[in-house]
Amino acid sequence: MKHTFLFLLIFFISNNLRAQKEEVFNLPDLQEKLQLQTVNRKVKIVKEEHVNFIQLSENKKEGLVWLPIKQFGNGTIEIQMRGKDVLQKSFIGIAFHGINDSTYDAVYCRPFNFFAKDSVRKIHAIQYISQPQYTWKKLREERNGIFEKSIMSPPNPNGWFTLKLVLEGKMVKAYINNAKGPSLKVEKLSAITKGKVGIFIGDDSGGDFKSIKIRTINNKN
């Protein structure tokens, strides 16, 4: 019985590991290799204090930077990014399950609201959207307080921080840095289960981005 239990345990662990795949995308490297697909943004590689990152220009329209990955379904996406504490000038996050440049889901942060003294602005620190049908404006007007929340122990709005998404079926959970609990937990509004992954950046916003780590789980179908 003991040997059977050990065999089953080893089989379970090894099978679980095989079902997971982790990739780390160094964004400056991908930009140098022309492997990033940009939408409404210019990309510049910057070196600052021995750290390389990409810097995205501002634009009046929403922007995207797609990675060379097309069929991500369940798993985690983790991005290192930096915005700024300037009102209405910093909307940065992750686009996922993208079909094209206008159809995708996204979770993004508004760093200028991280430490807002105004209670209404404070609960608009992190947001889920599903383009093109469920924009932030539509969700705020029709389902206020459900798809955007405040962040417990928010990071420096002018500094680097990590946004991690955990996607499992219809559930989307968003974590900031090493927080044990999610800042945002919602059910997806779109029926799309797989698609492209990249950076989302809002109107009149730029941003800095180092790398994206993706762990896919059980994407066999």
Using CA atoms, how far apart are residues 114 and 200, in angstroms rounded to an integer?
A: 18
Note the pTM of the prediction, 2 decimals.
0.89
Q: Give tens-digit pLDDT for 16-37.
A: 444 578 999 999 999 999 999 9
pLDDT of residue 70 exceeding 90, the answer is no
How many CB atoms within 10 Å of residue 160? 16
Report the candidate in 103, 72, 29 with the shortest Cα–Cα distance to residue 167.
Answer: 72
pLDDT of residue 5 exceeding 70, the answer is no
Which backbone phi and psi does 138 adopt, to 5 degrees? -65, -45
DSSP state of 31: H
Amino acid at 132: P
Using CA atoms, how far apart are residues 176 and 19, in angstroms rounded to an integer?
A: 26
Residue 2: the pLDDT is 54
pLDDT of residue 9 exceeding 50, the answer is no
At 71, is the pLDDT very low, low, confident or very high (cuts 50, 70, 90)?
A: very high
Residue 166: the pLDDT is 98
Q: What is the SS3 assignment for 37?
A: strand
Using CA atoms, how far apart are residues 76 and 96, in angstroms rounded to an integer?
A: 11
Mean pLDDT of 105-131: 97
Residue 49: the pLDDT is 84
